[in-house]
Amino acid sequence: MNFDFSDDQKMLKEQVRKFLADKCPMSVTRRVLEKEEPYAAEVWKGLVEMGLTGTAIPEEFGGLGLGALELCVIAEELGRAAAPVPFSSSIYLAAEALRLFGTKKQKETWLPKLASGEIIGTLAVSEGTHAAHPRNIAVKHAGGKINGVKQPVVDGGAASLAIVAVNTGGSGEGAVSLAIVDLKAGGVSAAPVRTLDPSRQHVTLTFKDAPAEILGPKPGEGWSQLSRVLDGAAVLFAFEQVGGTEAALEMARDYALERYAFGRQIGSYQAIKHKLADMYVKKELAKSNAYFGAMMLNDEGAELTEAAAASRIAGSDAYVFAAQENIQTHGGIGYTWESDCQFHYRRAKLLALAVGAPIQWKEKLVARLEAKNAA
- DSSP per residue, 219-230: SS-HHHHHHHHH
pLDDT at 57: 97
For residue 165, the cross-strand partners are 178
Provide the CA 51 distance to its chain's centre, in angstroms.
Answer: 19
Which pTM value belongs to this model?
A: 0.96
For residue 164, the cross-strand partners are 124, 179
- Residue of 279, 276, 275, 298 lying closest to 287 (CA atoms): 279
pLDDT at 70: 97
pLDDT at 338 > cutoff 80: yes
CB 273 within 8 A of CB 281: no
pLDDT at 269 > cutoff 90: yes
Average pLDDT over residues 312-324: 98
Helix (H) or strand (E) holding 345, with range, is: helix 341-351
Of the pLDDT bands very low, low, confident and very high (cuts 50, 70, 90), residue 198 is very high
26-73 tens-digit pLDDT: 999 999 999 889 999 999 999 999 999 999 999 999 999 999 999 999
Average pLDDT over residues 346-368: 94
pLDDT at 130: 85
- Spatial distance between the Cα atoms of 367 and 91, rounded to a whole number of angstroms: 28
Average pLDDT over residues 270-283: 98
- Spatial distance between the Cα atoms of 226 and 213, rounded to a whole number of angstroms: 16
- Spatial distance between the Cα atoms of 240 and 234, rounded to a whole number of angstroms: 10
- Spatial distance between the Cα atoms of 175 and 168, rounded to a whole number of angstroms: 5
User: How many residues belong to the chain?
Assistant: 375
pLDDT at 165 > cutoff 90: yes
Average pLDDT over residues 117-127: 97
Helix, strand, coil percentages, rounded to 5, for the chain: 60, 15, 25
pLDDT at 2: 66
pLDDT at 223 > cutoff 90: yes
Say whether 304 sits in a helix, a strand or coil. Answer: helix
CB 86 within 8 A of CB 159: yes
Q: What percent of the chain has pLDDT above 70?
A: 99
Of the pLDDT bands very low, low, confident and very high (cuts 50, 70, 90), residue 375 is confident
- Spatial distance between the Cα atoms of 322 and 330, rounded to a whole number of angstroms: 12
pLDDT at 153: 96
pLDDT at 321 > cutoff 70: yes
CB 327 within 8 A of CB 343: no
Of the pLDDT bands very low, low, confident and very high (cuts 50, 70, 90), residue 352 is very high
Average pLDDT over residues 232-256: 98
Of the pLDDT bands very low, low, confident and very high (cuts 50, 70, 90), residue 209 is very high
Average pLDDT for the chain: 95
- Spatial distance between the Cα atoms of 322 and 315, rounded to a whole number of angstroms: 11
pLDDT at 1 > cutoff 70: no
- Spatial distance between the Cα atoms of 121 and 103, rounded to a whole number of angstroms: 17
pLDDT at 3 > cutoff 80: no
Average pLDDT over residues 201-211: 97
pLDDT at 249: 98
pLDDT at 36: 82
For residue 213, the cross-strand partners are 180
For residue 141, the cross-strand partners are 146
Helix axes 41-49, 7-23, angle to 10 degrees: 150
Average pLDDT over residues 127-149: 92
Q: Specify whether the backbone of 83 is left (phi greater than 0), alpha (psi in -120 to 50) or beta.
A: beta
Q: How far is CA 145 from CA 148, 149, 220, 241, 350, in A?
A: 10, 13, 16, 37, 31
